[in-house]
Amino acid sequence: MPGRNFLFVPGPTNVPDRILRAMHRAQEDHRSSTFPELTKGILSDLTKVFGTTKGQAFVLPSSGTAMWETAIVNSLSPGDKVLAVRNGQFSHLFIDAAQRLGMQVEIIEAEWGAAVEPAAIQAKLAEDTAGTIKAVLVVHNETTTGVTSDIGAVRAAMNAANHHALLLVDGVSSVGSLDFRLDEWGVDFAIAGSQKGFMMPAGLGIICLGPKGLAAIATATCPRAFFDLRDHVTHNANGYFPYTPSLAHLYGLREALDMLLAEGMANVAARHKRLGEGVRRAVKAWNLSVCTKDLTCQSDTVTAIVVPPSADAEVVRDIAFRKYNLALGAGLGPLRGKVFRIGHLGDLNELMLLGALAGTEMTLVDAGIPITLGSGVAAAQAWYRESAK
Ligand SMILES: *Cc1c(COP(=O)(O)O)cnc(C)c1O
């Protein structure tokens, strides 16, 4: 099909040409005396994206999923008890990883579409007077349902319970797009990947540890080898890696960090908020509902749209893909067929999103879902004009 594929899944996201060019490199000696400049610059700039001056960032050739494992095995010991909230497919898989790695997971079940409830965490921690719960696991932005939870409030709840559990946060679809404050929120392990807010191809796991997280890697006794952050601490200190790093990805990440920091993280978050609001207004104009229960928790990086019971969201996605070269995100787990998602994160502007909304409208009408062509586009256009600087 001629023209660009419209990639509007919530990851992988569009890779800017600048990043693609930066990755197009010959291989080089990763043990040269000049190589540490690249490593040290990347690791130091990453801390700015995570909102920390006290923490330390690590990059591993892997993915977001691998960073769940990295966070768990570097913070805990076999059989440790952890507390986790399940409110979507990613929190479900985070819990699954903890269970498979031998942790005892106490689960707070929440409706899919609900945000993490800090009061529920506080109540569970307050009951645990013996301090047997070693960590709290939460997903900042549930990509399944388009819900952003308040991590600052989770930390406040942990403090209010006077509990010393570590805070492990999945920020795969938030870090690099939404406001993220590792220091202020007291996050001990923050998890990210390359193919969402960082605008890169998949292939890198990125993780940032606060001071308590860094201390925990020395006392955790989980067996670990490739994901042992102690090796990274040692090698990264000199600007090297414990193995051959993925050079193309490192050069891509260097470029991505240049782009993000030139825009400024506050501006990046504001751009996502403004772009996301246009999508929300379009959905409202279509008279369709979103998966998110509390509209104040709607994500600025992804919107999960519920199709009427008579329709199949997988059919909607397939029409969009085959007929209009538009990739929309699938409903995950139990939401398959019931929900489709528009990803609005990464390298994105108003007109790209208006194109995606126009394609979604044509698709919905083709799928027999009664919306008025142009209604959502017009609502988003009005918002983008009104909110333009
Ligand atoms: C995409 C995603 C993941 C999984 O990351 P991979 O890089 O696909 O392993 C984990 N958590 C959240 C919230 C995500 O959006």
- Per residue in 325-383, pLDDT (tens digit) is 999 999 999 999 999 999 999 999 999 999 999 999 999 999 999 999 999 999 999 99
- SS in 3 state form for the chain? CCCCCEEECCCCCCCCHHHHHHHCCCCCCCCCCCHHHHHHHHHHHHHHHHCCCCCEEEEEECCHHHHHHHHHHHHCCCCCEEEEEECCHHHHHHHHHHHHCCCEEEEEECCCCCCCCHHHHHHHHHHCCCCCEEEEEEECEECCCCEECCHHHHHHHHHHCCCCCEEEEECCCCECCECCCHHHHCCCEEEEECCCCCCCCCCEEEEEECHHHHHHHHHCCCCCCCCCHHHHHHHHCCCCCCCCCCHHHHHHHHHHHHHHHHHCHHHHHHHHHHHHHHHHHHHHHCCCEECCCCHHHECCCEEEEECCCCCCHHHHHHHHHHHHCEEEECCCHHHCCCEEEEECCCCCCHHHHHHHHHHHHHHHHHCCCCCCCCHHHHHHHHHHHHCCC
Using a 6 Å cutoff on CB, does residue 139 contact ligand 1?
A: yes
| Residue bearing the CA closest to ligand 1, atom 6 | 64
Is the CB of 356 within 6 Å of ligand 1? Answer: no
User: Which pLDDT score, from 0 to 100, does residue 1 have?
Assistant: 82
The finding on whether 186 has its CB within 6 A of some atom of ligand 1 is no
Residues 130-156 have a mean pLDDT of 98
How far is ligand 1, taken at its centre, from the CA of residue 294, in Å? 23
Q: Is the pLDDT of residue 389 over 90?
A: no
CB of 251 closer than 6 A to ligand 1?
Answer: no
> Residue 150 to residues 121, 153, 233, 286, 290: CA-CA distances in angstroms?
12, 5, 30, 28, 19
Ligand 1 pocket, residue 172 CB under 6 Å: yes
Please state, as a whole number, how many other Cβ atoms lie within 10 Å of the Cβ of residue 116. 28
CA 127 remoteness from chain centre: 31
Mean pLDDT of the chain: 98
CA angle, residues 157, 162, 167, in degrees to nearest 5: 55
Instruction: Single out the residue of 113, 103, 67 nearest to residue 305, CA to CA.
Output: 113
Ligand 1 pocket: which of 60, 65, 87 to mutate (most atoms within 8 A of CB): 65
Residue 69 confidence (pLDDT): 98
pLDDT at 139 over 90: yes
Ligand 1 atom nearest to 10, measured from its CA:
15
Provide mean pLDDT across the span 232-240: 98
Domains recognised in the chain with CATH numbers: 6-13+265-387 (3.90.1150.10), 17-262 (3.40.640.10)
Kindly give the interhelix angle for 229-236 and 211-219, rounded to the nearest 10 degrees. 120
**CA-nearest residue, atom 14 of ligand 1:** 172
Query: How far is 308 from 312, CA to CA, in rounded Å?
Result: 8
In short, whether 384's Cβ falls inside 6 Å of ligand 1 is no
Mean pLDDT of 3-8: 95
Q: pLDDT, tens digit, for every residue of 80-114?
A: 999 999 999 999 999 999 999 999 999 999 999 99
Provide the percentage of residues in the chain whose pLDDT is more than 70.
100
Average pLDDT on 24-34 reads: 97
Residue 327 confidence (pLDDT): 98
Give the pLDDT confidence of 267-311 residue by residue, as tens digits: 999 999 999 999 999 999 999 999 999 999 999 999 999 999 999
Query: d(Cα 178, Cα 173) in Å, to the nearest integer?
Result: 8
pTM (2 decimals)?
0.98
Residue 90 Cβ < 6 Å to ligand 1: yes
